[in-house]
Structure 1
Amino acid sequence: MHLGIDLGTSEVKLLLLDGSGRIVGTAGAPLTLSSPEPLWSEQNPADWWRATGTAIAQLRAAHPGPFAAVRGIGLSGQMHGAVLLGADDKLLRPAILWNDGRSHAECAELEAATPALHDIAGNLAMPGFTAPKLLWVRKHEPEIFAQISSVLLPKDWLRLQLTGDKVSEPSDAAGTLWLDVARRDWSEELLAACGLTRAQMPWLVESTEPSGVLRPELARTWGLGADVIVAGGAGDNAASAIGIGATQPGDGFISLGTSGVLFVVNDRYRPNPASAVHAFCHALPQRWHQMSVMLSAASCLRWFCNLVGADEATLLAELESKGSTADAPTFLPYLAGERTPHNDPFAPGLFHGLKAQTHRVDCTYAVLEGVTFGLADGLDALRAAGTEVKQLSLVGGGSRSPYWAQQIADALNVEIVIHTGSEAGGALGAARLGWLASGGTVDAICKRPDIAARFTPNPERHARLAPRLARFRDLYSRLRGA
């Protein structure tokens, strides 16, 4: 048996996988965000560990026999977060998360001070990345910066609790702006630009390799055997790729979670920072990937649900029963700024074109369409970087809606497929990585799950969406910098 632990932004999710690749059970525990200042997004790592313990207890109670047979653990997690540790691994402050926008000024400073940044890290400096966060801490919290002995990414802080070891891996480390992405190793030059050294970084292993073993006292508490291997694991998107079997060049998927991601596997390092496309290491040796990222995706629908006091199922049912939405307003989904293709932490979210006749269902449609158009922008950025796709898998919470899946297929003019267990996302990939680290081959373990649904683009609907997409893009261009 193999256990996947996925540290998301809104939930810690666990998944139990048996030796035939079957999902035995899942469990989860919620997390909350803190935003003490505009553009800030933080969490207390201690809450991650408490939520992990809660989910472990649930999974163990529901599946005691299979859980006790766990021999490998894999980790997946939200990328870019800065967990700052001092002496004796004491937490120095709350973790600064991937969707935090406070370090926009530091991004410009890092770009100016490090001409080789794009070549080495393969990415623009953006507020979501880890390096600008540390420059912000150095400038605004110098007393904390002076105490830093280690900087860990979120899932790697969980690993420290599990094994006592400070280890990371290339897929997650590539999102710090401190990794030489082609070499899959820390860059002394980029670390020095932030006043840091290799000694403050975790050791690196490949995602499929062992990173340590579960601490004996924890194994006893959880009722597990000795020598449970903890794999290197992966950043959430690379882990999701492993979960749906995206291992070969050209394989790709869309993740509709808190953020929206379009991910395509490459056989070599192919940076294109000019289009705000991310070039990262994949969770397999000798594999890389390109990725477009929008900061608010399915979270836009959750936000609208809270705004109007209705649940997602109710709003989607209303939308599916209405049919025509020709008079719907235009929605910009930039509730936390945007990355690809705009790299604009101040990009605004808004409804445009509201009328007295506008109903709730029209706004629901606009929210889904706005996220879909953000994905279309991301696909255009990937195409400008030389990537072409004919089919994309859809994963994450948003994959539950057939309506949304069809809209994405129509707007992007790409076939969309949903796999059995697609909602498992990074937790399934993490469990597979735990399996690989404890013995097994990629071909045998990282198979594509069965296709549960297929959505073929409709040329007529694609044509009808085209002028609305043009209006969406024009609206942002007019508001940029306003």
Structure 2
Amino acid sequence: MYLGIDIGTSSVKAVVMNDDDRPIAAASVPLVLSLPRPLWCEQVPEDWWQAVVDSLDALAAKAPAAMEAVRSIGLSGQMLGVTLLDATDTAIRPALLWNDGRAAAECTDLHARFEAFADIVGCRAMPGFSAPKLLWLGRHEPDALARARRILLTKDYVRLRLTGDAVSDRADASATLLMETVRGDWHDGILAACGIDRTRLPRLVDSTTVSGTLRSPLARRWRMPAGTPVAGGGGDNMCAGVGVGAVQPGTAYISLGTSGVYFVANNRFVPAHRGGMHTHRHAVPGLFCQHAVVLSAGSALAWIAGLLGRDIGGLIAELDARELSPDTTPVFTPYLAGERTPHDNPLLTGTFSRLTHMTGPLHLVQAVLEGVAMAMADGHAALTGAGARIDRVFLTGGGARSALWTRLIAATIGRPLHLVADQRSGPAIGAARLARAAIGGPLIAPAANQASVAVIPVDARLAEQLDRKRSLFHGHLRVTAT
């Protein structure tokens, strides 16, 4: 057995997988976001750890035999975050997350300092990434940054608690924009520009190598073998790629989670110079990955459900049973937290337009699904316009359970979508596969069924309706002054 742990934005998921890549047991614990100011998004690192502990306690209680058979552990986590720890490894302040938009000015400063910034790291500096946020901390909270003895990504904070070792993998670390991506090592010039040095950063390993071993008291608590190896792992986007099978050049996936991710595996390093895209190292040795990201996908659906006082599952079931014509629904731009691809603008805001007396709650909800689908189509256009080869697209994430949403996305990008069997555990399964590879096993089991459970075709009529609507969608972008 192999254990994969994914520290996401909305929850921690832990999965025990067998040698045929079949999930045997799983547990999940929710997480909460803090939005203390406009553009800010934070979480308390201790909450990540407590959710991991609660998840593994649950697995040890309900599947003790599976936990006793675990031979290695893999870690996946939300990317780009900044966690500052003091000399006792206590968090100095809440972690700044991937969708935090406060550091726009610092992005401009990094580009002025490094003319070839994108060629070094893989993309332009954008507010959610680690490097500009560190520069922001140095300017606005200098005491906090000065006290920091370790600076870690989300999953690497959990690794520190699991093993006592401060380590990161080169895939997740490449997305901090602090690393020379092709060389696979920290870039001292960028570190200095951000006011730090490599002594405060973790040691780097590959995703498929052992980074440390589980502490003995934790192994006993969770009924796992003493000295269980912990693999390098990867960022959640890279681990999801491994989990769904996007491990060959030209394979891609779209994930409908808190954000919407369009990920393409590539055997070449193609730095992104525009369009809010980014290129990093894949967790698969020798591969890179190109990303387009819509910052508000599932979070936009959660937002409208909260405004309506309705349960998300109930709304989706009602819409799936009674699909409305896009000709009757409003236009929604899903920029509730700004947008990354293709606008690279943290100040974009969400809008509803084309409202009438006939507009009801379900019209608003479907408009949100359509808006996210059209934003994903913008990401598809940005990737293909940059020369990304896309042969096959998998679909995963919690939003993939909506039949309507899957049809909307297939229609907007003009490609059939291959729906994977487990839409919610892709990153955790990918982490478990990396754990197996770290101790000499195959990345993907030969017996594993890589076929999708369903293919969502392109509905030509729906595609035509949404194509007409996209001109209105693009015409209703709004930028706020603050």
Which TM bucket (shorter chain)? over 0.9
1:70-469 aligned within 5 A: 70-325=70-325, 326-442=327-443, 444=445, 449-469=450-470
Instruction: Describe the shift of the 1:449–1:61 C-alpha distance in structure 2 as closer, same or farther (beyond 3 A).
Output: farther
Q: Distance in 2 between matches of 1:281 and 1:360?
A: 42
> How far 1:443 moved relative to its partner?
5.1
Q: Is the Cα–Cα contact under 8 Å of residues 242 and 446 in structure 1 kept in the other structure?
A: no
Q: Distance in 2 between matches of 1:230 and 1:173?
A: 17
Q: Distance in 1 between matches of 2:458 and 2:311?
A: 28
Instruction: Describe the shift of the 1:200–1:457 C-alpha distance in structure 2 as closer, same or farther (beyond 3 A).
Output: same
> How far 1:221 moved relative to its partner?
2.0
Question: Which is worse superposed, 212-221 or 159-168?
Answer: 212-221
Alignment-mate amino acid for residue 25 of structure 1: A
> How far 1:450 moved relative to its partner?
3.5
**TM-score (structure 2 length as normaliser):** 0.97
Q: Is the Cα–Cα contact under 8 Å of residues 149 and 200 in structure 2 kept in the other structure?
A: yes
Q: Distance in 1 between matches of 2:444 and 2:321?
A: 43
Q: Distance in 2 between matches of 1:214 and 1:374?
A: 41
> How far 1:224 moved relative to its partner?
1.6
Q: Distance in 2 between matches of 1:263 and 1:445?
A: 24
Q: Is the Cα–Cα contact under 8 Å of residues 250 and 392 in structure 2 kept in the other structure?
A: no
Listed one character per residue, the Cα deviations across residues 64-95 of structure 1 (whole Å, up to 9, x for unaligned) are 11111111000000000100112132321111
Percent identity for Structure 1 against Structure 2: 45
Listed one character per residue, the Cα deviations across residues 324-361 of structure 1 (whole Å, up to 9, x for unaligned) are 32221100101111101001101101211111110111
Listed one character per residue, the Cα deviations across residues 14-72 of structure 1 (whole Å, up to 9, x for unaligned) are 00001222110110111101111111111111111111111111111111111111110
Equivalenced residue count is 480
Listed one character per residue, the Cα deviations across residues 205-229 of structure 1 (whole Å, up to 9, x for unaligned) are 1101100111112112222211201
**TM-score (structure 1 length as normaliser):** 0.97
Q: Distance in 1 between matches of 2:300 and 2:449?
A: 29
> How far 1:428 moved relative to its partner?
0.7
Alignment-mate amino acid for residue 288 of structure 2: W
> How far 1:447 moved relative to its partner?
5.1
Gaps of 5+ in 1: none
> How far 1:441 moved relative to its partner?
2.2
Q: Distance in 2 between matches of 1:407 and 1:9?
A: 25
Alignment-mate amino acid for residue 409 of structure 2: I
Please name the residue that 2:28 is paired with.
28
> How far 1:448 moved relative to its partner?
5.6
Considering only aligned residues, what root-mean-square deviation do their CA atoms show, in Å? Answer: 1.4
> How far 1:461 moved relative to its partner?
2.1
> How far 1:465 moved relative to its partner?
1.2
Q: Distance in 2 between matches of 1:58 and 1:449?
A: 29
Q: Distance in 1 between matches of 2:356 and 2:54?
A: 47
Q: Is the Cα–Cα contact under 8 Å of residues 395 and 422 in structure 1 kept in the other structure?
A: yes
Alignment-mate amino acid for residue 310 of structure 2: A
> How far 1:317 moved relative to its partner?
2.9
Please name the residue that 1:39 is paired with.
39
Q: Distance in 2 between matches of 1:403 and 1:362?
A: 13
Alignment-mate amino acid for residue 455 of structure 2: R
Listed one character per residue, the Cα deviations across residues 282-335 of structure 1 (whole Å, up to 9, x for unaligned) are 001110010101111011111111110111232223323333322211001011
Alignment-mate amino acid for residue 357 of structure 2: A
Please name the residue that 1:53 is paired with.
53
Q: Distance in 1 between matches of 2:388 and 2:161?
A: 39
- Please state whether the residue corresponding to 1:279 is helix, strand or coil: strand
Please name the residue that 2:476 is paired with.
475
Q: Is the Cα–Cα contact under 8 Å of residues 5 and 427 in structure 1 kept in the other structure?
A: yes
